[in-house]
Structure 1
Amino acid sequence: MTVWQTTPALARAAILAAVGALAAVTLGEPVVVVLVSPFLVLTLMSVLHRPTERPRVDNRLEHVSLHEGQGTRSRLRLTNADDVEVVTRVAQPVPYVAMRPAAGALVALATDNHDLQLSPRRWGRRLLGAEGVALTSRWAGFRFGVVTVSGQEMFVLPARAPYDSRAEAPAPVGLVGAHRSRRNGSGTEFSGIRPFASGDRLRRIQWRTSLRTGALHVVTTRAEEDSAVLVVLDALVDLGRSGGVDGEASSLDLGVRAASALAEHHVRRGDRVGLRVLGAHDARLATAGGQRHLRRLQGLLARTRIERSRLPEGFTLGVPGGTVVYVLSPMLDDGVVTAVASASQRGVPVVVVDTLPEDVRMAVAEGTDEALAELAWRMRQLDRDDLLRHLAATGCPVVPWRGPGTLDQVLYRLARRAQLPTVRVR
């Protein structure tokens, strides 16, 4: 149990005061008492202000769920601390968590602000390190602690990447949304003019055409529907080095942030969004809409871990009809490439977002010839480029992630292709 203990400063002051008083009496020199009087005053004041209560120390985070790059405070709560004058707290450094003060050490008066500012720099679960807290009484005579306070868990969501697109969904299949449908309905996009029929609304009458032809005609419009979107994230491997939200991005960093940006964009437009994380556990989230669903989706992204495993034989994306699929992957697994090509050949609108960082290098195991490893990696990249060219030739576009406007031209082409007539063999 932690109790108040005498500080070395009080012990030194008491010893010097006692030795000085003894020397003054022994030698008969009153001037010695004058020399040691400051130490005598310090000893007396420390003893008079001896703490009588046992304080309690606890810390609390203002926000336990943040987006990477945002900040919060770790507040230190003191109870029964009337006798405390100085607070000293030292926090252990945690990877991808910036602190202010930078070293995590803070000394302040008990009446001043002694909060520690924190800012997570990468998505995921971050367990803050334990803190050591020491309390000092008035006149620095007694010290309480060091008290060890356990760190709290912080849940860090992916950063809100700036992404927006004006492109329409290739094949909207829903009820109400912002995408122009291929069928006529109650919308705002002009479709054509036809003769009046029973059940048409009077406000749809086109009076100029009606007066010219002598018969009533109405304006027809395109329906506006929402779209179903499936985001597939490849978590089988993580290539490159992660430097946090302000530094270099690994392949998994690019994939997680791009998936969060795409999901937020489509949810904001009223679409239904689903998520599938390829890995050992094959985490899935059914398609839905709304801010609550977006929060669950970002939470699943934040729990993503590198799961080195092989996809089962005959692996497919399992996409229902009318769904737009975004595959975020470095495209280094043959199973992922085969599943994407199969879905594209079945007519599913698939867009591959290449998340392989530029100038990435593979980690070389100790004892491996670096020149041989570099040659093997270059050969693997050539093989990957050839696979991506064949994939693009099947009608599946492959684009690197570049933020806003990355997929505009691709979605425009897919939407135009969806409006072309198709030939079916019976």
Structure 2
Amino acid sequence: MTAWHATAALARALVLGAVGLALAVVAGDPALVVLAAPFVVLGAVALAHRPATRPGVDVRLDHVALREGLGTTSRLTLTDAADVEYVARAAGRPPYVAVRPHDGQVGGLLSAGPPDVELAPLRWGRRLLGEEKVALYTRWAGFRCGPLARGGRPVRVLATTDAYDSRSEAPQPLGLVGAHRSRRAGTGTELADIRPFLAGDRLRRINWRVSLRTGDLHVVTARAEEDTGVLLVVDALGDHGVSTGVGGSASSMDLTVRAAAAIAEHHVRTGDRVALRVVGPGREQVGYGAGARHLRRIQDQLAAVRTGDLAEHDSGVLQLGVTGGAVVVVMSPVLADVVGTVVATLVRRGVAVLVVDTLPPDAEPAVAEGVDPRLAALAWRMRRVERSLVLDRLGALGCPVVAWRGPGTLDDVLRRLARRAQLPRVVSR
């Protein structure tokens, strides 16, 4: 409905007033005129304010991108609203979105300004916010325009990132300049050795204390400080567990996306090059890069992740494009065979790989209708046993597996990987 129509209140007032006056004339009873007079007056006043213009309605949001748990305001803009006195709004309630007021219904006089509706997405992803119906009323509630349906606006909801920080060095830094100590000598600040002076050494590197004690010039050598490449691999082959949004229980995809966002933000802040690969139907990917704009690209791709199985032609070993000196962080519940195959292949190639286990401890299978719950529970236990065997085999290959616990999860594992990288090893090609 986009035009003005008489309200039920106006119709009742006119009908009751006309019937009362007719009965007063037929029965000759003045009391009926007194009873019908208020309805006649209200109907006449409402008709006197019959609208002459058709208003325009527009709904806008204050933000186009939000973090989980943060809110925005849906604001109503009216044009040609000289005949409007009262505005009523009924907002939709999409999943994982909190609405204020709770029922999504609000109204008020236009003289005090159009009423606002506050929305707060509770889970990462693409959410449709601002879908609602709007009704406009004239003075004395004689005419109504609407309810007018207004479509929502897609909003990118970025995953929350905990205060993640790590002081561990990268296992195999191979870049230009950064904060990680390299195995080769350079112009860093970390002391490596003191050796005799050679042609080409900088004079400012001379250690005069050792030189005076030995009688020969000696210089101080230092380790180079380089950046590293961090490849984040996100397993989107399925979502296990129940998600109630930020602040509540988390599913495997919640833990995966939030862990990837936190790790990416930390490494970008320290100057490392970060890339993203999603193992899933969308196959989202972001190349290596650094800086705030690159971090925003990664966060946007994480918000657009879709879960589902891979296509048949993609079910083999995935090509992740791992570069030399990169650290691969795989975030997965490790319930798909393809993920274990990819990790084992990278480990055998000598790549530093770390698996972050994102399966919630209390995850239960989703039982389809018509399936025996006891049979589903037995299948789930068997799948958990197979998963534990895969984790044990990865550990035997030298790939550490750690459950995501928020800040500090990767510190100890990365330190062990860095110490292991200093040792000689045989790599199969």
TM-score category (smaller protein): over 0.9
After superposition, the Cα gap between the structure-2 partners of 1:280 and 1:44, relative to the gap in structure 1 and judged at 3 Å, is closer
Contact 1:94/1:129 (8 A) holds in 2: no
Structure 1 residue aligned with 2:368? 365
Contact 2:232/2:277 (8 A) holds in 1: yes
Question: Which runs of 5 or more residues in structure 1 are unaligned?
Answer: none
Q: Which moved more, 1:409-418 or 1:145-154?
A: 145-154
Structure 2 residue aligned with 1:388? 391
Q: How does 1:317-356 map to 2 (within 5 A)?
A: 317-356=320-359
Amino acid at match of 1:152: R
Amino acid at match of 2:103: A
Structure 2 residue aligned with 1:154? 155
Q: Secondary structure at the match of 1:187?
A: coil
Q: Secondary structure at the match of 2:85?
A: strand
C-alpha separation between the residues in 1 aligned to 2:170 and 2:191? 18
Structure 1 residue aligned with 2:238? 237
Contact 1:317/1:343 (8 A) holds in 2: no
Equivalenced residues, count: 425
C-alpha separation between the residues in 2 aligned to 1:392 and 1:316? 22
Structure 2 residue aligned with 1:67? 67
Structure 1 residue aligned with 2:81? 81
Deviations 1:253-303 (A, max 9, x none): 211111111111111111001111112453322111111111111111112
Deviations 1:152-210 (A, max 9, x none): 21222222233221111111110111111111212222222233344444433323223
TM-score, L = length of structure 2: 0.92
Q: How does 1:167-316 map to 2 (within 5 A)?
A: 167-309=168-310, 311-315=314-318
Q: Secondary structure at the match of 1:84?
A: coil
Structure 1 residue aligned with 2:45? 45
Cα distance, 1:97 vs. partner?
1.4
After superposition, the Cα gap between the structure-2 partners of 1:117 and 1:214, relative to the gap in structure 1 and judged at 3 Å, is same
Contact 1:187/1:223 (8 A) holds in 2: yes
Cα distance, 1:307 vs. partner?
1.9
C-alpha separation between the residues in 2 aligned to 1:424 and 1:21? 102
Q: Secondary structure at the match of 1:118?
A: strand
Cα distance, 1:45 vs. partner?
2.9
C-alpha separation between the residues in 2 aligned to 1:365 and 1:2? 43
After superposition, the Cα gap between the structure-2 partners of 1:404 and 1:276, relative to the gap in structure 1 and judged at 3 Å, is same
Structure 1 residue aligned with 2:93? 93
Cα distance, 1:34 vs. partner?
4.8
Contact 1:192/1:220 (8 A) holds in 2: yes
C-alpha separation between the residues in 1 aligned to 2:52 and 2:148? 18
C-alpha separation between the residues in 2 aligned to 1:362 and 1:179? 42
Q: Secondary structure at the match of 1:183?
A: strand
C-alpha separation between the residues in 2 aligned to 1:67 and 1:98? 13
Contact 2:350/2:427 (8 A) holds in 1: no
Cα distance, 1:318 vs. partner?
4.1
Cα distance, 1:319 vs. partner?
1.9
Question: Which runs of 5 or more residues in structure 2 are unaligned?
Answer: none
Contact 1:351/1:397 (8 A) holds in 2: yes
Structure 1 residue aligned with 2:417? 414
Deviations 1:232-255 (A, max 9, x none): 111112211221122221112211
Amino acid at match of 2:218: H
C-alpha separation between the residues in 1 aligned to 2:404 and 2:300? 22
C-alpha separation between the residues in 2 aligned to 1:96 and 1:306? 17
Structure 2 residue aligned with 1:139? 140
Contact 1:239/1:362 (8 A) holds in 2: yes
Amino acid at match of 2:356: V
Structure 1 residue aligned with 2:55? 55
Contact 2:67/2:124 (8 A) holds in 1: yes
After superposition, the Cα gap between the structure-2 partners of 1:314 and 1:13, relative to the gap in structure 1 and judged at 3 Å, is closer
Deviations 1:323-365 (A, max 9, x none): 1000111112222212212211222110001111112222233
Cα distance, 1:367 vs. partner?
3.5
C-alpha separation between the residues in 2 aligned to 1:119 and 1:281? 26
Deviations 1:32-67 (A, max 9, x none): 555544434423332333222110111111112222
Contact 1:90/1:131 (8 A) holds in 2: yes
C-alpha separation between the residues in 1 aligned to 2:339 and 2:27? 93
